């Protein structure tokens, strides 16, 4: 990651960092002593940043061990290193804990269907979408309304356009007129094609149209918006599954599915993510609005609870405010003292 990007990430994560690193610094003045009050305070700070109880307890125990090893008193940097190491490992080693594996069995809670023979939409174990000539890669963006889905699509479109890809967006959230309109405006602004059929159009038809157009015009990436109403698992699956099947038929494989989660919604966001991930096959998460929260630790709680990889994080409202997620860089941006901070804004 370029220096400028790391700096931006650090700034975006300032609220959470101030909440933990700042408070640790204020309380201990750079030295951490081994006593129950200190350990309680550390644990409480980690929990308040939404890292989850399990991770907070584990990290506090590791800190206790480190301080003991260092003779009963450690530097703040030494403590931060323990936190960084734990978080990097937790995020890197997260293994999916969600059962849904393909669009074919998605939305069905019955275990018998999981072993069904002749399943057409089986996903490969590792979804690493490669670019195939003449066949566009499709990113399918799902999530509850208001989480930042449309903005994320614009950010991804902009990111990939900068990378030299020929990007198209498809306004598949036809339930909300504003969603179609907003995506069209973003597409215009960043200079990518947008396929839309207005409000109440059939999302599957919009996506079919988009894929036809992408093939005809030589686009290599189509990013699809979807409806974000969360009523019941089956209606969610009906809506999303129909579109996913159109994509599969057209490109010969499942789309890469990204679930957008608003970091500000904390434990609620985690629950939402769980419902989605149990209903449709999610490849990874985009965690948005990390800049607006002091609870950026939710990334860790999500990795521990769902085991789904966080692939992108959103740290602001402009199209530039997105970063590919890297556990080590994230841990360093969140839990380091002063390094790389060029302004305090």
Q: Which residues pair with 284 in a beta bridge?
A: 258
Cβ neighbours of residue 84 closer than 8 Å, sequence gap 6 or more: 328, 331, 332, 335, 336
Neighbours of 6 (CB within 10 A): 17
Q: Which two tokens stand for residue 28?
A: 């201990």
Q: Which is nearer to ligand GDP, 63 or 323 (CB)?
A: 323
CB of 145 to ligand GDP, least distance (A): 4
Choose, by CB under 6 A, the member of 67, 315, 331, 333 that binds ligand GDP: 315
Q: CA end-to-end span of the chain, whole Å?
A: 21
Neighbours of 165 (CB within 10 A): 17
Site for ligand GDP in 159-198 (CB under 6 A): none
CB of 288 to ligand GDP, least distance (A): 4
Q: Are 160 and 221 in contact (CB under 8 A)?
A: yes
Site for ligand GDP in 221-260 (CB under 6 A): 228
- When CB distances to ligand GDP are compared, the closest residue is 314
Choose, by CB under 6 A, the member of 8, 289, 295, 332 that binds ligand GDP: 289
CB of 321 to ligand GDP, least distance (A): 6
Q: Which is nearer to ligand GDP, 62 or 145 (CB)?
A: 145
Q: Which is nearer to ligand GDP, 74 or 147 (CB)?
A: 147
Distance (Å, whole) CA 107 – CA 111: 11
314 binds ligand GDP (CB under 6 A): yes
* DSSP per residue, 244-259: HHHHHHHHSSPPEEEE
CB of 47 to ligand GDP, least distance (A): 24
Q: Taking contact as CB under 6 A, which single stretch among the options 70-78, 189-197, 309-317, 324-332 is the one that binds ligand GDP?
A: 309-317
Q: Are 156 and 223 in contact (CB under 8 A)?
A: yes
199 binds ligand GDP (CB under 6 A): no
The CA R_g of the chain, rounded to the nearest whole Å, is 21
Using alpha carbons, select from 235, 216, 322, 152 the residue that is nearest to residue 195.
216
Fill in the per-residue mask, 319 to 338: x = in contact with ligand GDP (CB under 6 A), - = not in contact: --x-----------------
15 binds ligand GDP (CB under 6 A): no
Q: Which is nearer to ligand GDP, 81 or 181 (CB)?
A: 181
Site for ligand GDP in 125-154 (CB under 6 A): 145-151
Cβ-count burial of 296 within 10 angstroms (0-12 exposed, 13-18 middle, 19+ buried)? Answer: buried
Residues at the contact surface with ligand GDP, assessed by CB under 6 A = 145-151, 228, 288-289, 291-292, 314-317, 321
């Amino acid at each position: 990651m370029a220096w400028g990007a790391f700096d931006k990430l650090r700034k975006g994560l300032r609220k959470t960092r101030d909440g933990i690193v700042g408070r640790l610094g204020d309380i201990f003045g750079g030295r951490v002593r081994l006593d129950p009050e200190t350990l309680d305070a550390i644990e409480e700070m980690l929990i308040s940043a939404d890292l989850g109880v399990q991770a907070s307890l584990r990290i506090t125990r590791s800190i206790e061990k480190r301080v003991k090893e260092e003779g009963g008193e450690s530097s703040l940097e030494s403590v931060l290193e323990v936190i960084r190491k734990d978080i990097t490992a937790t995020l890197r080693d997260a293994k999916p804990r969600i059962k849904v594996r393909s669009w074919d069995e998605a939305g069905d809670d019955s275990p018998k269907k999981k072993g069904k023979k002749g399943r057409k939409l089986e996903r490969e174990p590792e979804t690493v979408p490669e670019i195939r000539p003449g066949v566009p890669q499709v990113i399918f963006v799902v999530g509850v309304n208001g989480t930042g889905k449309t903005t994320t699509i614009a950010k991804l479109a902009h990111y990939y356009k900068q990378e030299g890809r020929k990007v198209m967006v498809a306004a598949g959230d036809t339930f909300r007129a504003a969603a179609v309109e907003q995506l069209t405006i973003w597409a215009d602004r960043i200079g990518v094609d947008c396929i839309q059929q207005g409000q109440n159009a059939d999302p599957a038809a919009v996506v079919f149209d988009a894929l036809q157009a992408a093939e005809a015009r030589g686009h290599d990436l189509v990013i699809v918006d979807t409806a974000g109403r969360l009523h019941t698992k089956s209606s969610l699956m009906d809506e999303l599954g129909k579109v996913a099947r159109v994509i599969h038929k057209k490109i010969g494989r499942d789309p890469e599915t990204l679930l957008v989660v608003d970091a500000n919604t904390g434990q609620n966001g985690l629950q939402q993510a769980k419902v989605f991930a149990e209903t449709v096959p999610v490849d990874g998460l985009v965690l948005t609005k990390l800049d607006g929260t002091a609870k950026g630790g939710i990334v860790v709680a999500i990795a521990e609870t769902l085991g789904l990889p966080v692939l992108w994080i959103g740290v602001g409202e402009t199209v530039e405010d997105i970063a590919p997620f890297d556990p080590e860089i994230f841990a360093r941006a969140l839990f380091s003292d002063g390094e790389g901070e060029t302004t305090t804004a």
